[in-house]
Amino acid sequence: MQVLIFSWEYPPRKIGQLAEYIDSLSKDLVENKIKTYVITCHDFLTGITEQPSGVTTVRVTNPVRNHISFLTWILTLNQEVGRVAANIIYQQKNQISLINVYDWHFIPAAVTLKRAFKIPIVYSVESLEDHRSQKANTPYNMAIKSIEWLGFYEANKITVKSKSIKNDITDIYKVPEEKIKIVESDWHSNFKKIRNIFTTISEGAKKE
Amino acid sequence: MKKSLNVMMLSWEYPPRVIGGISPHVFFLSKSLAEIGVKVHVVTCEFPGAPAHEVIDGVEVYRIDAYKNPSPDFASWIYLMNMNMQKEAATIAAKIENKIDVFHAHDWLVATAGIGLKHVFRKPLLVTIHSTEMGRRDGVHTQTEKMIHETEAWLTYEAWKVICCSNYMVAHARWVFGLPEDKLVMVPNGVNSRVYQSIKKGEEKKIRAKFALPEEKIVLYVGRLVYEKGIHILVNAAPRILEKVNAKFIIVGSGYMKEQLWEIVKSMNLEHKVLFAGFLEDEILLKLQKYADVSIVPSLFEPFGIVALEAMAAGSPTVVSDTGGLSEIVDHDLTGVKVYPNDPESLAWGVIKILSDEKYGAYIRKNAYKKIKDKYDWKKKALKTKKIYNSVLSEYSKSFWA
């Protein structure tokens, strides 16, 4: 099995806990014979790197340097994420089993790749725009929520770390409950569950 | 049998959605390409009442959801619309049996979708640069303008070839984006003169009566009411013109300068001489273009100037400012009158020259129409564009993407 992980945080770029989580998860996947590519962003450490752990990382930067918001920065950055992901997909002769995307940031790239190559998406939710913005409803927040919605709609599976986030997703976005899986926040059991989900999704996609 | 060329055209406007010149450009280019055997798939934004998929004159037209994401501002809307456009275009392209050979984007408005599709399908991307942020704003000043400018530069960087509609734009794009000369190609716009030919005779009085008094000459402006179009120059020239000839100024189109222009008109007490007509139905507009005594294109920045071509095709003598693409379309004293840009005095002189001498007007009309027939036929533009596609594809066939 080969997976692409899209995350806007990855060491050395740490904003919250996600960076270290992705680092550990990707190492765990490789140890369990899952070929793992982490696609992330960094302003100058760009390019493809084979980590000693066996994880392949690709860091991209935004060719547009001036922005009016975090939103425009993310939306344009997605093209670079899509570009390097497509390169890997072609190099691996379309053997990528799934794309695991963290939060809303790289949903746009994931969705286009899904449509073009029929690669399933596992959308892992750390938090929702409603949590981060205290339910603000400005057009800016609504734009981000509409990207979250797109992710929930297109994802083959959604993973969350608590029952309360699951409830919020079903309440706010009307996502069917069976589409959402709770994965424990304890990393060891979490990784195991993630691997099981990957196997199910990857085998399901092969049957189609 | 050799499979036909499959082109996916990306444009944020396509009839019936018409905002500026890109819409008619993409419409006629696609239709004319279809006539010479190129399979064209247009992906564009939705429009109320227009179907999500239809075939028009052999062209496959797909209209995508463009307004489903709330957006804080225009530029963010563009990027969000591109997200949807890219996703839908990828779905369509993945289903096309013969595969898309070339993606062809029009302006930065579809930049990110075009760049994304190029890499996902590994096919060449071509771009037509109709206009630049640098030109529209006379430099890039705000954060938004810088962002748009960089997006345009990125698009030209990713494109295999950059097509411009005039020699002026070729030079402009080369300077603005620092492009190598061999990346640029010039294909002038075309114009459809048939639509004006098919207007029935004998309606002139009726149409004129809708807009002007019988004794008034019609001075026509068609275009957005924005700074770069120089409409304020025409408004400022109005009193000078009215000193010599009795005329009615008809201003078709809309834009952010509308209120400001109306204030100027009021301050000159010329409310009865200047008519802001807003957007007009195509049917009325075509007739107005045909019957106008003079058509004005007073632009300060004009990459091409399709409205001047339309006036020439319609048979209305034109007065244009001697700038950008207009300088190439109009030959002074032969196919139109050129005046100094940003100079109401000069513009007034040009308008008076045509309105006060009917023989001169008729002479200009005749020459202009001949030039349109010889140089600006859409079929010729389609043949040239097809040639560009084929030459790009022959270079591409030697690349590791092929």
Token pair recorded at residue B317: 């003598």
Contacts of A115 in chain B (CB under 8 A): 87-88, 90-91, 94
A131 close contact with B: CB closer than 8 A: no
B50 close contact with A: CB closer than 8 A: no
Question: For position B81, what pLDDT does the model report?
Answer: 98
Contacts of B70 in chain A (CB under 8 A): 139, 142-143, 146
B61: β partners? B42, B54
Question: For position B345, what pLDDT does the model report?
Answer: 98
pLDDT at A185 over 90: no
Shortest Cα–Cα distance, A87 to chain B (Å): 8
- For chain B, the average pLDDT equals 95
Question: For position A144, what pLDDT does the model report?
Answer: 97
Q: What is the mean pLDDT of residues A89-96?
A: 94
Q: How far apart are the first and last CA of chain B?
A: 20
Q: Do B71 and A139 touch (CB under 8 A)?
A: yes
Task: Report the C-alpha gap between B93 and A115 in whole angstroms.
Answer: 9
Of A75, A87, A113, the CB nearest to B83: A75
Q: Do A68 and B144 touch (CB under 8 A)?
A: yes
Question: For position B196, what pLDDT does the model report?
Answer: 92
Q: What b-and-e string marks burial along B149-170, b requiring 16 or more CB atoms within 10 Å of the CB?
A: bbbbbbbbebbbbbbbbbebbb
pLDDT at A206 over 80: no
Tell me the CA distances in angstroms from B54 to B40, B104, B193, B205, B355, one per residue in order. Answer: 12, 19, 25, 38, 45
Q: Do B112 and A76 touch (CB under 8 A)?
A: yes
pLDDT at A62 over 70: yes
Contacts of A78 in chain B (CB under 8 A): 83, 112, 116
Question: For position B293, what pLDDT does the model report?
Answer: 97
Task: Report the C-alpha gap between B321 and B302 in whole angstroms.
Answer: 9
Question: For position A208, what pLDDT does the model report?
Answer: 67
Q: What is the mean pLDDT of residues B291-299?
A: 97
| SS3 (DSSP) at B337 | strand
| SS3 (DSSP) at B14 | coil
Q: What is the mean pLDDT of residues A113-138?
A: 95
Shortest Cα–Cα distance, B148 to chain A (Å): 9
Task: Report the C-alpha gap between B73 and B59 in whole angstroms.
Answer: 32
Question: For position B2, what pLDDT does the model report?
Answer: 62
In chain B, whose CA is at the least distance from the CA of A137?
Answer: B70
* ipTM for the whole predicted complex goes beyond 0.90: yes
Q: Vertex B72, ends A137 and A15: CA angle to 5°?
A: 75
Q: What is the mean pLDDT of residues B275-301?
A: 95
Shortest Cα–Cα distance, B144 to chain A (Å): 6
Question: For position A207, what pLDDT does the model report?
Answer: 72
| SS3 (DSSP) at B366 | helix
Residue with tokens 């494109």: B159
pLDDT digits (tens, 9 = 90+) for B174-213: 999 999 999 999 999 899 888 898 888 888 999 999 999 9
A142 close contact with B: CB closer than 8 A: yes
Q: What is the mean pLDDT of residues B374-402?
A: 95
Contacts of A71 in chain B (CB under 8 A): 72, 76, 79
pLDDT at B1 over 70: no
Question: For position B55, what pLDDT does the model report?
Answer: 98
In chain A, whose CA is at the least distance from the CA of B90?
Answer: A116
% of chain B beyond a pLDDT of 70: 100
Q: Do B116 and A118 touch (CB under 8 A)?
A: no
pLDDT at B365 over 50: yes
Contacts of A106 in chain B (CB under 8 A): none
Identify the structural domains of chain B with CATH numbers, from first to last: 6-190+377-396 (3.40.50.2000), 194-375 (3.40.50.2000)
Residue with tokens 């997976």: A3
Shortest Cα–Cα distance, A207 to chain B (Å): 19
B41: region left, alpha or beta (phi > 0 left; psi from -120 to 50 alpha): beta
Q: Do B70 and A79 touch (CB under 8 A)?
A: no
Identify the structural domains of chain A with CATH numbers, from first to last: 2-207 (3.40.50.2000)
Contacts of A67 in chain B (CB under 8 A): 143, 147
Of A64, A79, A87, the CB nearest to B116: A79
Task: Report the C-alpha gap between B146 and A127 in whole angstroms.
Answer: 32
pLDDT at A170 over 60: yes
Q: Vertex B303, ends B13 and B154: CA angle to 5°?
A: 70
Tell me the CA distances in angstroms from B313 to A157, B72, B101, B389, one per residue in order. Answer: 58, 41, 34, 28
Q: What is the mean pLDDT of residues B74-89?
A: 98
Helices assigned H by DSSP within chain A: 18-31, 70-91, 107-117, 129-132, 139-154, 163-173, 187-207
A93 close contact with B: CB closer than 8 A: no
Q: What is the mean pLDDT of residues A51-63?
A: 97
Contacts of B112 in chain A (CB under 8 A): 75-76, 78-79
Question: For position B262, what pLDDT does the model report?
Answer: 97
Q: In what order do the strands lie in the sheet with B39-45?
A: B53-56, B59-64, B39-45, B6-10, B102-106, B125-128, B161-164, B184-186
Token pair recorded at residue A171: 């309440």
Shortest Cα–Cα distance, A70 to chain B (Å): 10
B52 close contact with A: CB closer than 8 A: no
**Cβ(B155)–Cβ(B115) under 8 Å?**
yes
User: For B31, which DSSP code?
Assistant: H
Contacts of B88 in chain A (CB under 8 A): 115
pLDDT at B102 over 70: yes
B83 close contact with A: CB closer than 8 A: yes
| SS3 (DSSP) at A197 | helix
**Cβ(A130)–Cβ(A167) under 8 Å?**
no
pLDDT digits (tens, 9 = 90+) for B11-24: 999 999 998 889 99
